[in-house]
Amino acid sequence: MNARERFLEVMLNFNRDVCPPKWEFGYWGDTINRWYEEGLQKKNPPYIPVRISTPTASLYNPCWHSIRGERLPAGIAVLGGGLYWPTQGFPLDNDVRDKLGMDLGQILVNVNLLFEPMFELEILREDDEYLTYVDIDGVKRMFLKETGVIPPGIEWVIRDWKTWEKLKSERLRLDNVAARFPSNWQDLLKIYRSRDFPLVLGGYPHGYFGTLAQLMGYEHLFYNYFDAPDLIHDVQHIFTELWIAVYEEVLAQTDVDMVVIWEDISAGSGSMVSPAMMREFMLPYYQRLTSFLKEHGVRIIFVDTDGDCFDLIPLFIEAGVTGMYPIEVSCGMDLVKVRRTFPRLQLMGGIPKSEIRHGRKRIDEILRPVCEVLQYGGYVPFGDHLIPPEIGWEEFVYYRSTLNDMLASYSGTGV
């Protein structure tokens, strides 16, 4: 069985006798830099894409290319299979995968789900420390080159009803859906239809909390829940109708294996919104979207949110979501508790990444819950976010080799 077949068998049938895909969520750029220095052979190093294609694939692209030199930007993500590609200008790992026998990862349908036409990239100011620019989603950002992490917005594209109405009329029309598909769409379709990897729709920055936070900023979003609720509902309605229109065209031409809705609605101490706010401002739109997807044969619908989201899981299930990740144990999530409480919820992630640095004994300890949850099925284990640079190559090899052996034991063929 290839990675796609195993993924579907594990997720849809909860088959405990099939080896789940061997993936990691990903690695920070400085982690890969360190591992090359510590013995990982640089045969096929991560390559940062240059071409601007869609907002999902190409947001933040100017940031990564503003850092010159052979080393990866410290705060870029290098994707390890458990997070779809292409997204956010991030490169793919090949060397770790090939060295440790990992699987082909998820591939994202590269279609424009945000603004059409996209905004023009505009570099406003750049020096050795900072890059200030307008990105293709219209948000003005300031990138700190030293840390190299995704830059915060400093001026938002949705500020009030006036700016929103302008966006609707100019960049969110439903009469030009065909313009949202890339010029190489027919070539992509050939790959999608003959795939041996899981094919994903959606992804960053598309969600019912995530998109609004991306385009309004968190502070303005929280105020608008109270000061401009009609604006919030209109944004949700328009994006729901847009996503359904684009998805309908995609699904008429190829099937997909999973839809991912990006939220990052939680932090270390819990959700950033109350269940009541989620029920009012998100649940109706979730239910409209997930009902459409299930009617069109999509049976795996994941929410991607960091932090402690345990109290919101029942609402996500009510909304039609079938799975959650990355189950961030580092922020208080309990993988075993999640599985026992929601036995049919599809899961990915759930391994406290930062604990790997403590060596073999601790690694063996953090993998015990994984062993228990694998007994239920419906689970692909990997680190609960990007593997940080404090993890040495030797520790990671032990962790990943041990986990790979554990996963292989669930397959009759050991592969």
> What span, in angstroms and rounded, lies between the C-alpha atoms of 98 and 121?
36
Q: What is the pLDDT of residues 82-112, one digit of tens each?
A: 999 999 999 999 999 999 999 999 999 999 9
236, exposed or middle or buried, with CB in 10 Å at 0-12, 13-18, 19+?
buried
Q: Which two tokens stand for residue 322?
A: 């079938």
Strands 258-262, 266-267: parallel, antiparallel or unpaired by DSSP? Answer: unpaired
Q: Which residue ranges of the chain lie beneath pLDDT 50?
A: 412-415
Domains of the chain, earliest start first: 3-408 (3.20.20.210)
For the chain, give the secondary structure using H, E and C. Answer: CCHHHHHHHHHHHCCCCCCCCCCECEEEHHHHHHHHHCCCCCCCCCCCCCCCCCHHHHCCHHHHHCCCCCCCCCCCEEECECCCECCCCCCECCHHHHHHCCCCCCEECCCCCCCCCCCCCEEEEECCCEEEEECCCCCEEEEECCCCCCCCEEECCCCCHHHHHHHHHHHCCCCCHHHHCCCCHHHHHHHHHCCCCCEEEECCCCCCCHHHHHHHCHHHHHHHHHHCHHHHHHHHHHHHHHHHHHHHHHHCCCCCCEEEEECCCEECCEECCCHHHHHHHCHHHHHHHHHHHHHCCCCCEEEECCCCCHHHHHHHHHCCCCEEECCCHHHCCCHHHHHHHCCCCEEEEEECHHHHHHCHHHHHHHHHHHHHHHCCCCEEEEECCCECCCCCHHHHHHHHHHHHHHHHCCCCCCC
Largest CA-CA distance found in the chain, in angstroms, rounded:
61
In the block, tokens 């930062």 appear at: 354
Q: What pTM value is reported for the model?
A: 0.96
What pLDDT is recorded for position 353? 98
Each residue of 136-158: b (16+ CB within 10 Å) or e? bbbbbbbbebeebbbbebeebbb
Distance (Å, whole) CA 302 – CA 378: 12
pLDDT of residue 68: 87
Output phi, psi for 251, to 5 deg. -70, -15
The answer to whether 275 and 315 have CB atoms below 8 angstroms apart is yes
